[in-house]
């Protein structure tokens, strides 16, 4: 008698066809979409914090790729679609996973901007989709599988550090909310969030040792108020809101992604810059601080320069993530 050994490989990710179950306009800038579907039972609930997932929207012809639960097969089907018909893919944050018995729902908050002065067709496919989303709409999502040993979609990793500097614009607000919901009560620090209007300010999970500052953009350019507020907090010279911003050296590409694990610019992650700014007397001590910064690419680069170049903060204690770039459509 021969014995056959079967080896099964854990899937690298969950690929699920999901249906919109609820759509809620939370505020001028946010549409909350609740996705459901049997395949979501395999979604991992282990990570939390800023875990990302991909949403794949119907392409120009209304088609999604051929569905397969095997990520490699699904990806081949997606890549196999003619470029002009290919379903656009964008990255979002898992805002919440709701589990009740056998039912699992995935919640995401989509930033939307109404097409003031431009045609709906000029908006990105994700924004356009979210503005029109209705219960019953079908998309594909690619996220962490409960059997995958490593998904690699969570960047928030403070390690032993218990003092936080968490900074983001509205696209990072879902991650900021999750981070504050998931960190232990012992954390200290500061959170800075810039949103388009005062109606976009939300109640964040409270920690009595973490201060939260909201910046309302109004008519100011993207990220400018946020960068000015953070520079003030760090004891660096203030940015004048009425004069053009200093150019941020474009040593990084569209997708700024500098975390202790990965550098999009291929930098040596073990290096620390010598600080170029003298320490201001009122500047906070950052020796035990973990910095997490996400949002529009310009503000991420500006704050990277402030922290790493001007203040010499160790690269191992910062995560800078360009979530999107003004005037540039994301590729996936
Ligand atoms: C890890 C990660 C997590 C993210 N989490 C979220 C999230 O939870 N919620 C969320 O809303 N976004 C999130 N984003 C950002 C989102 O992926 C981008 O904003 C994406 O570009 C939106 O796609 P789109 O099809 O609307 O626009 P694109 O086709 O990418 O771009 C078209 C045009 O729209 C502009 N544009 C894109 N996004 C915005 C915006 N937010 N405001 C104003 N103009 C914009 C672009 O500059 C471009 O001119 C995340 C990104 C990453 C990398």
Each residue's pLDDT tens digit, 254-263: 467 888 777 7
Query: Is residue 18 predicted with pLDDT exceeding 70?
Result: yes
Domain boundaries, the chain: 14-143, 163-324
pLDDT of residue 250: 47
CA 169 to ligand 1: nearest atom? 41
> Which is higher by pLDDT, 283 or 300?
300
| Band of pLDDT at residue 58, cut at 50, 70 and 90 | very high
Query: Is residue 247 predicted with pLDDT exceeding 80?
Result: no
Each residue's pLDDT tens digit, 84-133: 999 999 999 999 999 999 999 999 999 998 766 666 777 999 999 999 99
Residue nearest to atom 23 of ligand 1 (CA): 126
How far is ligand 1, taken at its centre, from the CA of residue 323, in Å? 7
14-143 against 163-324: fold identical: no
pLDDT of residue 118: 66
Q: Which CATH architecture has domain 163-324?
A: 3-Layer(aba) Sandwich (3.40)
pLDDT, averaged across the chain: 89
CA 326 to ligand 1: nearest atom? 47
SS (H, E, C) the chain: CCCCCCCCCCCCCEEEEEEEEEEEEEECCEEEEEEECHHHHHECCCCCCCCEEEEECCCCCCCCCCCCCCHHHHHHHHHHCCCCCCCCEEEEECCEEEEECCEEEEEEEEECCCCCCCCHHHCCHHHHHHHHCCCCCEEEEEECECCCCCCCCCCCCCCCCCEEEEEECHHHHHHHHHHHHHCCCCCEEEEEEEECCHHHCCCCCCCCCEEEEEEECCCCCCCHHHHHHHHHHCCCCCCCCCCCCCCCCCCCCCCCEECCCCECCCCCCCCCCCCCCCCCCCCCCCCCEEEEEEEEHHHHHHHHHHHHHHCCCCHHHEEEEEEEECCECCCC
User: What is the reported pTM?
Assistant: 0.91
Cβ–ligand 1 contact at 129 (below 6 Å): no
Each residue's pLDDT tens digit, 221-246: 999 999 999 999 999 987 654 544 55
Cβ–ligand 1 contact at 59 (below 6 Å): no
pLDDT of residue 261: 76
| Band of pLDDT at residue 330, cut at 50, 70 and 90 | confident
Cβ–ligand 1 contact at 307 (below 6 Å): no
The residue-averaged pLDDT of 17-33 equals 98
Query: Is residue 187 predicted with pLDDT exceeding 70?
Result: yes
pLDDT of residue 168: 98
Protein fold of 14-143: Elongation Factor Tu (Ef-tu); domain 3 (2.40.30)
**Residue % of the chain over a pLDDT of 70:** 86
pLDDT of residue 251: 43
């Amino acid at each position: 008698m021969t014995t056959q050994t079967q080896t099964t490989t854990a899937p690298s990710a969950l690929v699920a066809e999901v249906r919109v179950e609820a759509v809620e306009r939370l505020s001028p800038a946010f549409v909350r979409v609740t996705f459901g579907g049997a395949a979501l039972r395999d979604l991992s609930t282990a990570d939390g914090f800023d875990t990302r997932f991909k949403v794949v929207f119907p392409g120009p012809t209304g088609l999604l790729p051929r569905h397969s639960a095997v990520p490699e097969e699904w990806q081949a089907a997606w890549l196999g679609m003619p470029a002009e018909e290919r379903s656009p893919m964008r990255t979002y944050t898992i805002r919440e996973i709701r589990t009740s018995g056998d039912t699992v729902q995935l919640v995401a908050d989509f930033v939307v901007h109404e097409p003031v002065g431009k045609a709906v067709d000029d908006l990105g496919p994700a924004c356009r989709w979210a503005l029109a989303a209705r219960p019953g709409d079908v998309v594909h999502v690619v996220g962490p599988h409960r059997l995958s040993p490593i998904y690699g979609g969570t960047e928030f990793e403070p390690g032993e550090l218990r003092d936080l500097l968490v900074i983001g614009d509205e696209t990072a607000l879902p991650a900021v909310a999750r981070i504050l919901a998931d960190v232990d009560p012992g954390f200290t620090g500061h959170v800075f969030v810039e949103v388009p209007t005062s109606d976009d300010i939300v109640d964040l999970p409270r920690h009595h040792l973490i201060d939260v500052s909201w910046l309302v953009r109004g008519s100011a350019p993207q990220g400018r108020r946020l960068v000015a507020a953070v520079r003030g907090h760090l004891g660096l010279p203030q940015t004048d809101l009425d004069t053009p911003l200093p150019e941020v050296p474009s040593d990084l590409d569209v997708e700024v992604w500098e975390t202790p694990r990965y550098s999009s610019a291929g930098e040596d992650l073990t290096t620390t810059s010598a600080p170029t700014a003298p320490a201001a007397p009122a500047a906070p001590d950052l020796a035990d601080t973990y910095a997490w910064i996400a949002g529009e690419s310009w503000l991420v680069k500006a704050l990277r320069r402030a922290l790493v170049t001007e203040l010499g903060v160790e690269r191992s204690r910062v995560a800078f993530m360009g979530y999107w770039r003004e005037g540039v459509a994301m590729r996936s």
